[in-house]
Amino acid sequence: MRVFRRCLLVAVFALTSGAASAQAPLAPTGYATLVILRAPGMSGALWTYHFYVDKTLVAELRVHKYTVVFIPPGPHEVHTGATPEYRGMLLPLTAVAGETYYFYEDVTIISSGNFSQTVRFLPPEPAPNLKHFHYVKPVVQQLDTVDHQSMASSESQ
């Protein structure tokens, strides 16, 4: 039993430790900041979750992690899932340059033994306390204004 407890402790430490020394960069002028947080806890801790903005993979996060992505002003779609195609919770966001938005994902085990996923935008005030989260670099730090505008115009046709 003691060996099992030690192995469990090592596994929990490995899952929750990360690049604690890395710091989130500041937003460039003319962009909004999107902070993506993966909730702490053991539910779903073995899986890396993929986060998308406008079908572009921007982050891959495990529990207790967060990242920062810069997005151009305007309408966006934010979701988490296995693929860029929407299959989970799709949240619309109209970004304003200079503003910060917090996208929060949480997974819990429900009584049937299945997982229940909750995604939502947190209110900007008060800002979430990030001291218990570890920053990780995103897959894509900044979405390009040109790419977003061309995508929006092709979808409207």
Domain boundaries of the chain, sorted by first residue: 2-156
Closest by CA to 38, choosing from 134, 109, 146, is 134
pTM summary value: 0.72
Tell me the per-residue pLDDT of 25-82, one tens digit each, with 9 for 90 and over. Answer: 788 999 999 999 988 776 667 788 899 999 999 999 988 899 999 999 999 999 887 7
DSSP 8-77: HHHHHHHHH---TT--PPPPPTT-EEEEEEE--SSTTTTSPEEEEETTEEEEEE-TTEEEEEEE-SEEEE
Mean pLDDT of 115-123: 72
Better-scored residue on pLDDT, 145 or 68 = 68
CA distance 98 to 100: 7
Q: Which residue has the tokens 């937003």?
A: 27
What confidence tier does 11 reach under pLDDT thresholds 50, 70, 90? very low
What confidence tier does 156 reach under pLDDT thresholds 50, 70, 90? very low
The mean pLDDT of the chain is: 76
Tell me the per-residue pLDDT of 85-105, one tens digit each, with 9 for 90 and over. Answer: 766 668 899 999 999 999 988
What confidence tier does 145 reach under pLDDT thresholds 50, 70, 90? low
